[in-house]
Structure 1
Amino acid sequence: MIGAHVIVGYANDQGGRDALALGAAITRVTGGELTIATIYPPGSPGLAVEAQANLAHAAEALGAVPAGFLTFESRGTGRGLSVLAGRIRADLIVVGSAASGPPGRIAIGSTSDHLLHLSPEAVMLAPSGYVPPAGADRLTLAYVHRPQCDAAVEQVAQAALRLGVPLRLITLDLRTDDQGKLRDDLALAVRLAWETTGIEAESEVAEGHDVTAALQDVEWLTGELLVCAASEDAQPHRVFLGELAMKVLRASVCPVAVLPRGFA
């Protein structure tokens, strides 16, 4: 289960504070290690000092929450977080929404775009204005009948079992597919979750003329986490989201975790 060692990409802005809150919430649930990192560009002594000041703000916000604090020099924040995560053996990178996003949703900036296309670690994104719940309520997997999603069913079911929360599988019907086939595929995925973990997963087909409309009719719990599997086009052990999954991520009202291809 991801969350044994979480690294948060922090800046002293709304997105950074959202990521900090989400990272702390995840490790509170998993009991994992928490590292807060600020990335700054090379050859910028002033920004290096600012990075240290940012971490001081983060430490103050965390209060008694145990965490490590690191600054790291890199030409790109996303690349720096990936390199640093590998060095400290973090299994999850948490970042916030870009400033351009609407409240309660996720906007993709340059940092998250890099991570969502090249990260070897799982990536989790916090919606703008994220307020951490008291605990985890449910794990939801965005399901499409393909090998990466079938593998994710087993992994997310294991995580739900360990956390003691329900598992839900959601498939989108954008009025272009045979709903009967979609429900048959979901039934097979529910059976897979049961056979591998003993969890009886909920299943739902979300209908709409586009992704946003389909997800608006779905109930989301306060402590919900949405999980997406990497695209079949992803390199082994890398994250890569396809066009549909990107739309799901942008339409989500809860944090979203993206698993690398071949995640175990």
Structure 2
Amino acid sequence: MGGDRRTRLFRLFRPQLAARKAGRPRRGGRMKILVGLSADQGGQEALALGAVLARSCKASLVACTVTPDTWGHPSPARVDGEYGSFLARHTAAVQAEAKASLPNDVMAEFLAVSASSAREGLTRTASEIGADCLVLGSAREAPFGRFGEGGVTTELLRSAHLPVAVAPHGYSAGPQTRVRRLSASFSGSASAADIVARSAALAREYTVPLRLVTFVVRDKQMYPTGAGYDAEHFVSNVLREQARDAQTALLAGQAGLSAEIADGATWKAAFDSLTWQEGELLVLGSSKLGPLMRVFLGSNARKIVHNAPVPCLILPRGEE
């Protein structure tokens, strides 16, 4: 990947962010992907996804383990010093296992930082290294094959200034897996065209096809009690027609794009109505309720992320 292409890809991930918050010039031309490497299996899943993304766009990979702050000097009973030594040994073991799991063609830098919280440590590290994307794993309580937010991911999904990729519970990848297709969540709203444009540009850089996906979910919140199945079918048919019309208008004159409607009585059923490939990445945008240039998941976006059977990439809002 040449320097110009790396620059284009960087701009696609973080639109209109030429003036970086720290004011630092970019070192070299490669993107940097930061993985939040926790000690549980979620950290291994995040690392597996980070390796796939790094291989697909020839980015550099950095894995960061955050440990709790300890006092700068030992207590009289040396309890704090012993605790600090325990944390260092534990972190070294976690990172050694992670290094051994990396595919041979993916190199990674491993960092250990001390912070008051994992969110603070990852946010600070992302700023210091100039990360272009943050990768997180799933909470263990999530259903297998789906993503669930833990405390750290919830905080980061509310405040991150850079794209966040999330790996479903149980995610794994083969030694040569790379991104094979992008699917962009398309709602038909005023901001949807921007997400599709950014997704299309990413697909060109990855040299993979792009599919637009519109979700038509007939959940229980949509219909008043006693409305009956006729009303339900009527509303869902109208929504489906509106979605198809919006997709058709967007696809007009654009080659290489496809579009499908994910239709179901529940979000899981809607996802199951479509075929998902190995190496697929679902792209969606941040809610308009969130601050500019931040990731913020609205109600539907959160349902999409929680039910998606493939990794998701959530893009922060661009400046308007």
Distance apart, 1:63 and its partner CA: 5.8
Q: What corresponds to 2:312 in structure 1?
A: 256
For each residue in 1:68-115, what CA deviation from the matched residue of structure 2 results, as whole angstroms up to 9, or x when unmatched? 111112222123212211111111111111111121111111111112
Question: Is the CA contact (8 Å cut-off) linking 1:78 and 1:110 kept in structure 2?
Answer: no
Matches within 5 A, 1:140-155: 140-155=183-198
Please give the alpha-carbon distance, in whole angstroms, between the structure 2 residues aligned to 1:76 and 1:168.
38
| 1:14 and 2:8 are equivalent in the alignment | no
SS in 2 for 1:236: coil
| 1:157 and 2:200 are equivalent in the alignment | yes
Question: Is the CA contact (8 Å cut-off) linking 1:36 and 1:67 kept in structure 2?
Answer: yes
Q: Give the alignment partner of residue 182 of structure 1, picking from 230, 239, 243.
A: 243
SS in 1 for 2:191: helix
SS in 2 for 1:60: helix
SS in 2 for 1:107: coil
For each residue in 1:115-154, what CA deviation from the matched residue of structure 2 results, as whole angstroms up to 9, or x when unmatched? 2111001001111221225332210011112243221111
Question: Is the CA contact (8 Å cut-off) linking 1:9 and 1:94 kept in structure 2?
Answer: yes
Please give the alpha-carbon distance, in whole angstroms, between the structure 2 residues aligned to 1:35 and 1:9.
9
| 1:171 and 2:214 are equivalent in the alignment | yes
SS in 1 for 2:262: strand
Distance apart, 1:214 and its partner CA: 0.9
Distance apart, 1:235 and its partner CA: 0.6
Matched residues, number: 259
For each residue in 1:6-28, what CA deviation from the matched residue of structure 2 results, as whole angstroms up to 9, or x when unmatched? 00011232111111111011101
The residue identity in structure 2 corresponding to 1:74 is A
SS in 2 for 1:144: coil
Please give the alpha-carbon distance, in whole angstroms, between the structure 2 residues aligned to 1:73 and 1:88.
16
Q: What corresponds to 2:282 in structure 1?
A: 226
SS in 2 for 1:18: helix
SS in 2 for 1:225: strand
SS in 2 for 1:257: strand
Which stretch has the larger CA shift, 115-124 or 142-151?
142-151
Q: TM-score, normalised by structure 1?
A: 0.91
SS in 2 for 1:219: coil
Matches within 5 A, 1:1-264: 1=9, 2=13, 4-43=31-70, 45=84, 46-62=86-102, 64=104, 65-133=106-174, 134-175=177-218, 176=235, 178=238, 179-191=240-252, 194=254, 199-262=255-318
Please give the alpha-carbon distance, in whole angstroms, between the structure 1 residues aligned to 2:121 and 2:248.
41
For each residue in 1:156-213, what CA deviation from the matched residue of structure 2 results, as whole angstroms up to 9, or x when unmatched? 1011112111100111112455222211111233248x2xxxx421111111122111
The residue identity in structure 1 corresponding to 2:95 is L
After superposition, the Cα gap between the structure-2 partners of 1:188 and 1:83, relative to the gap in structure 1 and judged at 3 Å, is farther
Aligned alpha-carbon RMSD (Å): 2.0
Question: Is the CA contact (8 Å cut-off) linking 1:79 and 1:114 kept in structure 2?
Answer: no
Question: Is the CA contact (8 Å cut-off) linking 1:42 and 1:73 kept in structure 2?
Answer: yes
After superposition, the Cα gap between the structure-2 partners of 1:167 and 1:12, relative to the gap in structure 1 and judged at 3 Å, is same
**Percent identity (aligned):** 33
SS in 2 for 1:108: coil
Question: Is the CA contact (8 Å cut-off) linking 1:228 and 1:258 kept in structure 2?
Answer: yes
After superposition, the Cα gap between the structure-2 partners of 1:39 and 1:189, relative to the gap in structure 1 and judged at 3 Å, is farther
> 5+ residue gaps in structure 2?
1-8, 14-29, 71-82, 219-234
SS in 1 for 2:47: helix
Question: Is the CA contact (8 Å cut-off) linking 1:212 and 1:248 kept in structure 2?
Answer: no
Question: Is the CA contact (8 Å cut-off) linking 1:249 and 1:256 kept in structure 2?
Answer: yes
After superposition, the Cα gap between the structure-2 partners of 1:63 and 1:172, relative to the gap in structure 1 and judged at 3 Å, is closer
> 5+ residue gaps in structure 1?
none
The residue identity in structure 2 corresponding to 1:255 is P
Distance apart, 1:48 and its partner CA: 4.1
Please give the alpha-carbon distance, in whole angstroms, between the structure 1 residues aligned to 2:190 and 2:35.
29
